[in-house]
Structure 1
């Protein structure tokens, strides 16, 4: 594994699978920004963490500094708070606004507005 770079892209994952498009978007952004990848996942999901580890260690994947940060829960505001309190985060990547907003208990708020770095969505609804 490489030395930890000064800049990091934050990939926030929820659900029970790795969104390949979000992962590709995040790793592509890391290459363009010369940054590492920090991945937020829900802590109890060991299958998801194992899948991420296997994908990141795949022989065809370009070497990249990455780390997993397990969290007990992961809501929109948790992602925003995490990114805003870590100055080395230069961008946040999520699968789609629809997936994150659809899971929110309080849909009247929009915590993404408080994000101090760019928010990249890997997919969008048509």
Structure 2
């Protein structure tokens, strides 16, 4: 899966895109004690507007961090660090993302507190361990 946003080309591994296309993204994913929703390929490419910043969905973390920096002057990430992060899902509206500079480790950015929490594991372990909640 290849995306282009904010002057950066983003490539998600084929093992992830094949797995993503094999599951129902309308169902929650249970992974290491967390439950969240993954975004389909088409949803990742959609354009969204967050506080006057129009970005592709996969790049929404950038818009949230930019807003947090403008409002509070501080943030758990810099704008430059956001360029290596790809939003792949949502946890109650909070972006679930991977950081390509950290072996595609999985994180969640919590909008209400402006903090980041590790979900544990990475993109590869997500594809191997996640259970799709079809209830």
The alignment's TM-score, normalised by the length of structure 2, stands at: 0.23
- Hey, which of these two has a bigger chunk of strand by percent? 2
TM-score, normalising length: structure 1: 0.24
